[in-house]
Amino acid sequence: MEKVIKVGLLGLGTVGKGVYRILTGNAENICRKVGARLEIARILVRSLDKDRGLEIDPAVLTTDYRDVIDDPEIEIVVEVMGGLHPALDYARQTLKKGKSLVTANKDLIAQHGRELFEAAAAGAADLLFEGSVGGGIPIVRPLKHCLAANRIIKIMGIINGTTNYILSKMTAEGAGFAEALAEAQARGYAEADPGADIEGLDAARKLAILASIAFNSRVSLDDVYVEGISRITARDIAYAGELNYVIKLLGIAKENENGIEARVHPTMIPREHPLAAVNGVFNAVYVQGDAVGNTMFYGRGAGEMPTGSAVAADVMEAARNRLHRVAGINGCTCFEQKPVLPVGHTQSKYYLRMAVADRPGVLASIAYAFGDKEVSLASVIQKHTDGRRAEIVLVTHRVSEQNLRDALTIVEKLSAVDEVCAVIRVEDEDVREVG
Ligand code: NAP
Ligand code: HSE
């Protein structure tokens, strides 16, 4: 007799609908791959009356989460509701009952990953979350499995589609930030309240998850240094182009002998870097391993079917594991406790744009302030002048962030300096390896 594994969904919105369409539309194929038929037995929603554009037995829908979590026949619960509450409580209850949990919820994993992994281990259940980073792009499983034999040196990811769409439009068309954001909203890419995307928080959650896996040590959201893109101007995009760079919002995680660096901020990368060619709402994660070298995972970072693809594959894995009674093999890989470095302890090259007085000795006074704090300048270019005021663009060598900040505190007080208009980190150390 054909084995059936019952699945419950918590949520039937964008991602939930994708999961439903894939698990029902590809049911035969999935059944043969898993060795059991996956049956979506119950689905939790807020509204029973909403037209969801799906052919679905109304009896499957419920507004009582206990119909999903407490049903003894449901072995796998898929949390695609979003947010922390009540999703966290439902996740805890699911794992406590020894059911496997599949989620696309980056907030849950980035903020409560340790606790949920412990609960999964206690219940010998799976906790799978491929859809939480990079939508349809396989990245969690490749890091945990395919690249497991490597020491990961660095991860650099474009892991937010909204901001990548905005920066791509500013780069391609010279558009201003507000105009590009308005178009992202009109096209339905950016949320009505795009704060978490624009200010880098969405990317920070995803980076915390990737860094934890890559360096086998828990990195939580609070550990990630975050800067968004709202201060990026068309002028800086144009100057970046002149310097042969492109500006991207990157999530960067590295490890050195002192600890882990985890930061999200606008970054200038060389035009030749593979990440520079990732445009629009696409995402990509560039991973450097000591054995494999450079790899890049690219695709759609959000959306019903791409994210549904990742979540449905996790459901299949959880089902296979339950079938073969090996649930729990996907446990927590954070077996070390490494410090996460404060951003002041990180190093980078920096692009700086300043409005200054155009008179003799100004550049010398600025150069002196930087030199005094051991910030070495690689180039200084005067861009515009009306005879009285000028705009200068400086690029530093690789320096400590704390030294740069100390130098800027002095520079900002110089009478000849009107304003430090932009400070953008530059990452070009591995471009030679790319060619
Ligand atoms: P969504 O479209 O807002 O759907 C949420 C679903 O959960 C809806 O069906 C809603 O019911 C239900 N729901 C929410 N709160 C509920 C509650 N308290 N009780 C009962 N049902 C509740 O969200 P989504 O875009 O699919 O995102 C789901 C998760 O996937 C989030 O964690 C998100 O970060 C993650 N994710 C999303 C994407 C994407 O492209 N959207 C990509 C990657 C990861 P009703 O339909 O009745 O309102
Ligand atoms: N809001 C996210 C983005 C998609 O713009 O990439 C969901 O993770």
Residues sharing a CB contact under 8 Å with residue 139, sequence separation 6 or more, in sequence order? 130, 133, 210, 285, 297
Please tell me the distance between residue 333's alpha carbon and the centre of ligand 1 in angstroms: 27
Please tell me the distance between residue 102's alpha carbon and the centre of ligand 2 in angstroms: 19
Among the bound ligands, name the one nearest to the CA of residue 20: 1
83 Rama sector, left if φ>0, alpha if ψ -120 to 50, beta otherwise: left
What's the CA gap between 86 and 61, in Å, rounded? 18
Query: CB-based burial of residue 367 (10 Å sphere; 0-12 exposed, 13-18 middle, 19+ buried)?
Result: middle
Is the whole-model pTM more than 0.75? yes
Task: Please give the number of the atom of ligand 2 that sits closest to the Cα of 196.
Answer: 1
Q: Where in the chain is the domain with CATH 3.30.70.260?
A: 344-434
Q: Where in the chain is the domain with CATH 3.40.50.720?
A: 4-136+304-323
pLDDT digit of tens for each residue in the chain (435 aa)? 889 999 999 999 999 999 999 999 999 999 999 999 999 999 999 999 999 999 999 999 999 999 999 999 999 999 999 999 999 999 999 999 999 999 999 999 999 999 999 999 999 999 999 999 999 999 999 999 999 999 999 999 999 999 999 999 999 999 999 999 999 988 888 777 899 999 999 999 999 999 999 999 999 999 999 999 999 999 999 999 999 999 999 999 999 999 999 999 999 999 999 999 999 999 999 999 999 999 999 999 999 999 999 999 999 999 999 999 997 778 899 999 999 999 999 999 999 999 999 999 999 999 999 999 999 999 999 988 888 999 999 999 999 999 999 999 999 999 999 999 999 999 998 754 543
User: Which of 105, 139, 162 is the best mutation target for the ligand 2 pocket, counting ligand atoms within 8 Å of the beta carbon and taking the most?
Assistant: 162
Contact call for residues 80 and 312 (beta carbons, < 8 A): no
Among the bound ligands, name the one nearest to the CA of residue 132: 1
Alpha-carbon torsion (115, 117, 118, 123), positive or negative: positive
Nearest residue (by CA) to ligand 1, atom 43, is: 135
Please tell me the distance between residue 55's alpha carbon and the centre of ligand 2 in angstroms: 27
Q: Which fold has domain 344-434?
A: Alpha-Beta Plaits (3.30.70)
Please tell me the distance between residue 96's alpha carbon and the centre of ligand 1 in angstroms: 23
As its CATH architecture, domain 4-136+304-323 has: 3-Layer(aba) Sandwich (3.40)
Domain 140-300 sits in CATH 3.60.130.10: no
Nearest residue (by CA) to ligand 1, atom 48, is: 46
Q: Which residues are the active-site residues?
A: 206
